Amino acid sequence: MEAIKTVGLTKKYKNLTAVDGLDLSVERGELFSLLGVNGAGKTTTIKMLSCLTKPTGGDAFLLGRSIARDAAEVKNIIGVSPQETAVAPGLTVKENLTLMCGVHGFSREKRQRKLEELTERFDLTEVLGRKAGKLSGGWQRRLSIAMALISEPEILFLDEPTLGLDVLARSDLWDIIRSMKGRITMILTTHYMEEAEALSDRIGIMKDGRLLALGTAESLKTQTGTEKFEEAFVAIVKGERQ
């Protein structure tokens, strides 16, 4: 069974079609990147897959569960790091992590274990007792991503996770993402082409809500006859425009 399968997934806002009949399938353990210019429909796709917005057409199945009919079950197996940083500002870093354990119904032991694990992985020891709202943007971002991972999701959505991170933090996050490859299915969006190329198993390029191209970074380069992946991306997106 695929981790994710979308069937004609569509989202219309009044007279704008944000996602237009998306047919996509992502294998278990795969890291799939969704690329596209601003407004291409990446975030809308992730919002539908994570049951935040209802599709206006089509359906999607996460490990066989429909986002339209089995939303409660889907929510048990996903983790989401939203495009905007999502932390509780008045709580400390530790309390934020504990909150996520709580809403997933973790036992005391499991909570303790996850807390230690995430603190270590995201280097949060120093800021553990500080209020999340008082941290710098990049640190809030790290916390926000850690909060998405704490539930041990089977499918993880990372919407522009490295936005606003410094070089070191980004490289750390790449390591973390790599370490999860194969175990967790990940959908990643990013505007950094080198990031997509370095991390992804496959890449889908979207524009105006539709999928223009799909394949490995290598195959997309071959397809467009370009040397660099960034050139391939530009060729694909521009090719559509002519």
Partner 1 sequence: MKLLAFSGRNVKEILRDPLTAAFSLGFPVILLLLMSAIQANVPVSLFEIATLTPGITVFGLSFMTLFSATLIAKDRETALLQRLYTTPLTAADFIFGYALPLLPISVAQGAVCYLVALLLGLPATVTVVYAVLFVLPVSLFFIALGLLFGSILSTKQVGGICGALLTTLTAWLSGAWFDLSLIGGAFQKIANLLPYVHAVALEKAVLAGNFAGIFPHIWWIMGYAAAAFAAAVLLFLRQMRRQ
d(CA 117, CA 123): 10
Q: Which of residues 138-177 bind partner 1 (CB under 8 A)?
A: 144, 147-148, 151
The distance in angstroms from the start CA to the end CA of the chain is: 38
Polymer length in residues for the chain: 242
Under the binding rule (CB under 8 A), the answer on residue 68 touching partner 1 is: no
Minimal distance, residue 83 CB to ligand ATP, in Å? 6
Q: Contact with partner 1 (CB under 8 A): which of 4, 100, 165, 196?
A: 100
Under the binding rule (CB under 8 A), the answer on residue 137 touching partner 1 is: no
79 DSSP β-pair partners: 156
Eight-state DSSP code of residue 107: -
d(CA 189, CA 132): 24
Residue nearest to Mg ion (CB): 43
- Give me the amino acid identity at 28: R
65 to 84: interface string for ligand ATP, x by CB under 6 A: ------------------x-
- Looking up tokens 């539930």, which residue turns up? 151
| Count of positions on this chain that bind ligand ATP (CB under 6 A) | 12
Under the binding rule (CB under 6 A), the answer on residue 50 touching ligand ATP is: no
Q: Contact with Mg ion (CB under 5 A): which of 43, 81, 98, 200?
A: 43
Are the CB atoms for 145 and 172 separated by under 8 Å?
A: no
Q: Which of residues 66-125 bind Mg ion (CB under 5 A)?
A: 83
d(CA 84, CA 110): 28
If contact means CB under 5 to 8 A according to the sort of partner, which of partner 1, ligand ATP, Mg ion, none does residue 188 touch?
none
Q: Contact with partner 1 (CB under 8 A): which of 33, 45, 85, 119?
A: 85
Minimal distance, residue 217 CB to Mg ion, in Å? 21
d(CA 99, CA 76): 16
Minimal distance, residue 205 CB to ligand ATP, in Å? 11
d(CA 44, CA 202): 20
Catalog residues that contact Mg ion under the rule CB under 5 A.
42-43, 83
